[in-house]
Amino acid sequence: TQLLEQSPQFLSIQEGENLTVYCNSSSVFSSLQWYRQEPGEGPVLLVTVVTGGEVKKLKRLTFQFGDARKDSSLHITAAQPGDTGLYLCAAAVTNDYKLSFGAGTTVTVRA
């Protein structure tokens, strides 16, 4: 059983459309991270959220941490082909010290 459930598993959209990726769990997290991975490379950190209800913006990407610190979302506005990749959420449960990853959402933005 995956600690972090990501949805959808795959997402294919046209350039200029918006998309949202979700990361959910029944556990409470001390912090949550979002990574983006391109083929043949390791994941690269996009953002870390720490406070319940926190919203962070990174250009066209908006990250939200749930009030109860059990879930998060990533919203991309006006997606571009360069946003194509595998998006992974990762988190540590408050009483644990190991980082767990979701299975990822593969995003394809068509030109």
Residues in contact with other proteins by CB under 8 A are 2, 4, 6, 9, 30-31, 33, 35, 40-45, 48, 88, 90, 92, 96-104
- Measured between alpha carbons, how far is 7 from 100 in angstroms, rounded to an integer? 16
* Shortest Å distance, C-beta 85 to other proteins: 14
Residue number with CB closer to other proteins (13 or 93)? 93
* Run of H or E residues at 48: strand 44-49
Q: How far is the CB of 89 from other proteins (least distance, A)?
A: 9
